[in-house]
Amino acid sequence: MTSTGTRGSATWVSAFGTVPARARGPRAAPRRVVQGYANEVGESFRAIVPASLVWASYGVATAYVTADAVDKGKRAAAAHTHDSGKTARVGVAVADTFVWQGLASVAIPGFTINRICAASLHLLGSLTRWPLPVRKWTTTALGLATIPFIIKPIDRAVDFLMDSSIRKLYSTEGEPPSSS
């Protein structure tokens, strides 16, 4: 049994059930968006807030990733109630979602924003005579402004990475599930 889902503007068919992106378009609840992007926001504010708050933002993002993976597992279980390979399909849906979300929603964006903010703070210190608080708030603004521009390239790169590696291990009929 296969099902259809949407990946951005593309439609895909998966034997594992639908695996939507971290935010589900216009129907996405604000809390899902906040949770999905918590660590990027935390990294943007790293120059201003205590490190414990930045790490807490990673906790929120990781909780979101875990909840999303569990949700995809439940959906796969419901879609394959009479399937002899139900356990494997549920396991693949959970693992695929957790790995994809872990890379595309937490690890890579967090690293990217961290490096952009660190570089901008260093450059502002070297190239301007702005007071430190102004440099820190400018760095935070640059980090926040960068988030919308890094999402799609990172999502596409993680899709490519997973399609070229781990998804080859559990590919069956149709395309493997994707989280974007």
Distance of CA 137 to the CA centre of its chain: 25
pTM given for the model:
0.77
Under 8 Å between Cβ of 180 and 96 = no
Query: What pLDDT score does 30 carry?
Result: 65
Residue ranges of the chain with pLDDT lower than 70? 1-34, 172-180
Query: What pLDDT score does 39 carry?
Result: 95
For residue range 26-63, list pLDDT tens digits in order. Answer: 445 666 666 779 999 999 999 999 999 999 999 999 99
Q: Give the helix/strand (H/E) hosting 6.
A: strand 3-7
Query: What pLDDT score does 31 carry?
Result: 60
Task: Give CA–CA dist 84/140, Å, rounded.
Answer: 51
The residue type at 57:
S
Query: What pLDDT score does 88 carry?
Result: 87
Distance of CA 164 to the CA centre of its chain: 18
Residue 123's beta-bridge partner residues?
none
Strand spans (E) along the chain: 3-7, 10-14
